[in-house]
Chains A and B, each alone.
Chain A
Amino acid sequence: MVRSAASPAPSLPVLKGTLDLLVLRALSWAPMHGFEIVSWLERAANGSLDLDDSALYQAVYRLEERGLLAAEWGVTENNRRARYYKLTTAGRTHLRAETRNWMQYASTVTAILTAGKDAVPAAGT
Chain B
Amino acid sequence: MIRGDIRRAFRLALRRRDRWEQEVEDEIKLHLALRAEALAAAGASADHAYAEAVRRFGSLDESRTRLLDAARHRERHMQRTEWLADARQDLSFALRTLGRRKAWTSITILTLALGIGATTAVFSAVSSLLLHPLPYPNAGRIVLVDKQTTRANNTGIDVSISVGSKELLAWREQAHSFEALEPYATSTMSLETAGEPTEITAALVTPTFAAFAGQQPLVGRNFTPADLRAHDHAALLGESLWRTSYGADPAIVGKSLHLDDSIYTIIGVMPASLRIPSIVHREADVWLPIDLAGDTSNSGGYSVVGRLHTGVSAARATRELDALLERVQLPGMNSNMFHTRVQTPQALVPFRNSLILLMGAVGLVLLVACANVAHLILALSASRDREMAIRAALGAGRRRLIRQVVTESLALASLGVAAGVFLGWAGLKLIVALRPSALSELSAASLDGNALALAVVLGAASGIVFGLIGAFRNARRSPNDSLKSAATSASHSRRHEHARSLLVISEMAMSAMLLVGATLLVRSVIHLEHADLGFDPHGLYTLKVDLPHSRYADSTSVGVYERQLADRVRAIPGVRAASATDVIPGEWYFRIGGLQVQGDAPPPAGTTQLIHFSPVSPSYFKTMGIGLLEGRVFDDSSAASDQVLVNAGFARAHWPAGHAVGHRIRIVYNGNGAWMTITGVVANVATMGPMTQSSDPMLYGPMPPARPSALVRTQTKMLARMQAASGSVGLLRAAALSIDPRVRVTIDPVERLMAESISEPRFVMLLLTSFTVLALVLASVGLYGVMSYTVAQRTREIGIRIALGASGGRIARAVVGRAVALAFAGAAAGLIGAVWATKLIESSLNSVSRTDPASFAIGAMLLIGAAVAASVVPMRRAVSVDPVTAIRAD
Q: Chain A residues in contact with chain B, CB under 8 A? A: 33-35, 38-39, 52-55, 57-58, 61-62, 64-65, 67, 80-83
Give B396-424 interface residues, CB cut-off 8 Å to A.
Answer: none
Q: A53-B35, A54-B63 are in contact. Are A67 and B58 (CB under 8 A)?
A: no
Q: Is B532 an interface residue (CB 8 A)?
A: no
- In this complex, the member of B34, B57, B64 whose beta carbon has the largest number of chain A beta carbons within 10 angstroms is B34
- Chain B positions 30-76 with a Cβ under 8 Å from a chain A Cβ: 30-31, 33-35, 38, 56-58, 63-64, 66-67, 70-71, 73-74
Q: Is the CB of B30 within 8 A of A33?
A: yes
In the bound complex, do residue B31 and residue A34 qualify as a contact, i.e. CB atoms below 8 Å apart? yes
What is the CB-to-nearest-CB distance from B96 to chain A, in angstroms, rounded to a whole number? Answer: 26
B58:A54 contact, CB within 8 angstroms: yes
Across-interface contacts of B33 in A (CB, < 8 A): 80
Is B27 in contact with A67, judged by CB distance below 8 angstroms? no
Contact in complex: A57, B67 (CB < 8 Å): yes
A65, B66: Cβ atoms under 8 Å? no
Judging by beta carbons under 8 Å apart, are B78 and A65 in contact? yes
Judging by beta carbons under 8 Å apart, are B57 and A39 in contact? no
User: Which residues of chain B in 3-33 are interfacial with respect to chain A, using CB atoms and an 8 Å cutoff?
Assistant: 23, 26-28, 30-31, 33
With A52-B56, A52-B63, A54-B57 already in contact, the answer to whether A80 and B70 are too (CB < 8 A) is no
With A39-B38, A54-B63 as contacts: A61 and B31 at CB distance below 8 Å? no
Indicate which residue in A34, A53, A65, A83 contacts B77 across the interface (CB closer than 8 Å): A65
Closest 10 CB pairs of A and B: A52-B58, A54-B63, A65-B74, A61-B70, A35-B34, A54-B58, A53-B57, A65-B77, A61-B74, A58-B70
Kindly list chain A residues whose C-beta atoms are within 8 Å of the C-beta of B27: 34, 57, 82-83
What distance in Å separates the Cβ of B24 from its nearest Cβ neighbour in chain A? 8
Q: How far is the CB of A37 from chain B (nearest CB, A)?
A: 10
Q: Closest approach, in angstroms, between the C-beta of A91 and any C-beta of chain B?
A: 15
Given pairs A57-B27, A65-B73, A80-B33, 12 additional interface contacts (CB within 8 A): A33-B30, A35-B35, A38-B31, A38-B35, A52-B58, A52-B63, A53-B31, A54-B57, A55-B58, A55-B63, A64-B74, A83-B26
A52 and B57: CB pair below 8 A?
Answer: yes
Q: How far, in angstroms, from A94 to B644 measured CA to CA in the complex?
A: 100
Interface pair B58/A61, CB less than 8 Å apart: no
Closest chain B residue, CB of each to CB of A35: B34
Whether B66 and A54, one on each chain, are in contact in the complex, defined by CB atoms closer than 8 angstroms, is: yes
Can you give 16 contacting A-B residue pairs, CB < 8 Å? A34-B31, A35-B30, A35-B35, A38-B35, A53-B57, A54-B57, A54-B63, A54-B66, A55-B58, A57-B27, A57-B67, A61-B70, A62-B70, A62-B74, A82-B27, A83-B23
A5 and B148 CA atoms in complex are apart in Å by: 107
Q: CA separation between A61 and B77, bound complex, in Å?
A: 11
Among residues of B, the one whose C-beta sits closest to the C-beta of A82 is B30
Interface of A is mostly: helix
Pick the contact of B71: A38, A54, A61, A81 (CB < 8 A). Answer: A61
Please name the residue on chain B nearest to A66 by beta carbon.
B77
Q: Kindly identify which residue among B26, B31, B57 contacts A81, using a CB–CB cutoff of 8 Å.
A: B26
Q: B480 near A: Cβ within 8 Å?
A: no
Max chain B Cβ within 10 angstroms of own Cβ: one of A33, A52, A57? A57
> B residues within 8 A CB of A52?
56-58, 63
How far does the alpha carbon of A39 sit from the alpha carbon of B66 in the complex, in Å?
A: 22
From B23, B26, B81, contact of A67 by CB (8 A): B81
Closest to B68 in A: A61
Task: Kindly report which residue of chain A lies nearest to residue B62, judged by CB atoms.
Answer: A54
Contacts of B56 in A (CB 8 A): 52-53
Question: Across the two chains, which residue of chain B brings its CB closest to A34?
Answer: B31
Q: How far is the CB of B175 from chain A (nearest CB, A)?
A: 67
Nearest CB of chain B from residue A1's CB, rounded to whole Å = 32
Q: Which of B697-752 contact A (CB under 8 A)?
A: none
Q: Give every chain A residue within 8 A of B66 (Cβ-Cβ).
A: 54, 58
Is A53 a contact of B58 with CB atoms below 8 Å?
yes
Say whether B30 contacts A80, CB under 8 Å. yes
Given the complex of chains A and B, what is the CA–CA distance between A35 and B74 in angstroms? 20
Min CB distance, A53 to chain B, in Å?
4
Question: What CA separation (Å) do A61 and B71 show in the bound complex?
Answer: 6
Complex: A54 Cα to B68 Cα, angstroms: 11
Q: Could you tell me the distance between the alpha carbons of A57 and B34 in the complex, rounded to whole angstroms?
A: 15
CB-defined contacts of B35 to chain A, threshold 8 Å: 35, 38, 53
CB-nearest residue of chain B to A81: B26
**Docked CA distance A61–B27 (Å):** 12
Q: Quick check: B67 and A61 within 8 Å, CB to CB?
A: yes
A33 to B74, CA, bound (A): 17
CA–CA, A34 and B35, complex, Å? 11
B77 CB contacts on chain A under 8 angstroms: 65
Chain B residues lying within 8 Å of A35, measured Cβ to Cβ, are 30-31, 34-35
Distance between Cα atoms of A52 and B71 in the complex (Å): 18
What are the interface flags for B776-818 relative to A under an 8 Å C-beta threshold, 1 for contact and 0 otherwise? Answer: 0000000000000000000000000000000000000000000
* Cα–Cα, bound, A65→B66 (Å): 15
CB distance from B77 to the nearest CB of A (A): 5
B430 to nearest A CB, angstroms?
51
CA distance A82 to B23 in the complex (A): 9
Q: Which residues of B contact A67 (CB under 8 A)?
A: 81
Contact partners of B38 in chain A: CB under 8 A:
39
Query: Could you give, for residues 73-99 of chain B, a 1 whenever the CB lies within 8 Å of some chain A CB and a 0 otherwise?
Result: 110011001000000000000000000
Complex Cα gap A52–B55 (Å): 8
- For residue A90, give the distance in angstroms from its CB to the closest CB of chain B: 12
In the assembled complex, the CB of B40 is this many whole angstroms from the nearest CB of chain A, namely 14
Inter-chain CA distance A82–B29, complex, in Å, is 10
CA distance A77 to B700 in the complex (A): 117
Compute how far the CA of A61 lies from the CA of B67 in the bound complex, rounded to whole angstroms: 8
The smallest C-beta distance from B581 to any residue of chain A, in angstroms, reads: 87
Min CB distance A65 to B, Å, is 4
The distance in angstroms between the C-alpha atoms of A80 and B32, with both chains bound, is 13
Which residues on the A side are within 8 Å of B64 (C-beta)? 54
Distance, CA A42 to CA B383, complexed state (A) = 64
B492 to A: closest C-beta gap in Å = 45
Which residues of chain A come closer than 8 Å to B23, judged between CB atoms?
83
Q: Cβ of B67 and Cβ of A54 under 8 Å apart? A: yes
* Chain B contacts for A53, CB-based, 8 A: 31, 35, 56-58
Contact residues in B for A61 (Cβ distance below 8 Å): 67, 70-71, 73-74
A64–B27 alpha-carbon span in the complex (Å): 15
Interface string of B347-371 (1 = CB under 8 A from A): 0000000000000000000000000
Q: With both chains docked as a complex, state the minimum distance between the C-beta of B636 and any C-beta of chain A, in angstroms.
A: 102
- CA A52 – CA B70 in complex, angstroms? 16
On chain A, the residues within 8 Å of B34 by CB distance are 35
A20: min CB distance to chain B, Å: 13
Q: How far is the CB of A39 from chain B (nearest CB, A)?
A: 7
Q: In whole angstroms, how far apart are the Cα atoms of A61 and B35 in the complex?
A: 20
CA A62 – CA B354 in complex, angstroms?
63
Across the interface, name the chain A residue whose C-beta is closest to B56.
Answer: A53
In the complex, which residues of chain B have a beta carbon less than 8 angstroms from the beta carbon of A57?
Answer: 27-28, 31, 63, 67, 70
Residues in B neighbouring A39, C-beta threshold 8 A: 38
Residue of B nearest to A65 (CB): B74
Residues in B neighbouring A38, C-beta threshold 8 A: 31, 35
Nearest Cβ on chain B to A80's Cβ, whole angstroms: 6
The complex places the Cα of A65 from the Cα of B71 at a distance, in Å, of: 9
Residues of B within 8 A of A81 (CB): 26, 30
Name the distance in Å between B36's Cβ and chain A's nearest Cβ. 10
**Bound-state Cα–Cα, A32 to B317, Å:** 83
How far does the alpha carbon of A112 sit from the alpha carbon of B738 in the complex, in Å? 97
Query: In the complex, which of the residues B26, B33, B56, B70 has the most CB atoms of chain A within 10 Å of its own CB atom?
Result: B70
Tell me the complex Cα distance, A55–B67, Å: 9
A54: which B residues are within 8 A, CB to CB?
A: 28, 57-58, 63-64, 66-67
Bound complex: CA A82 to CA B28 (Å): 10
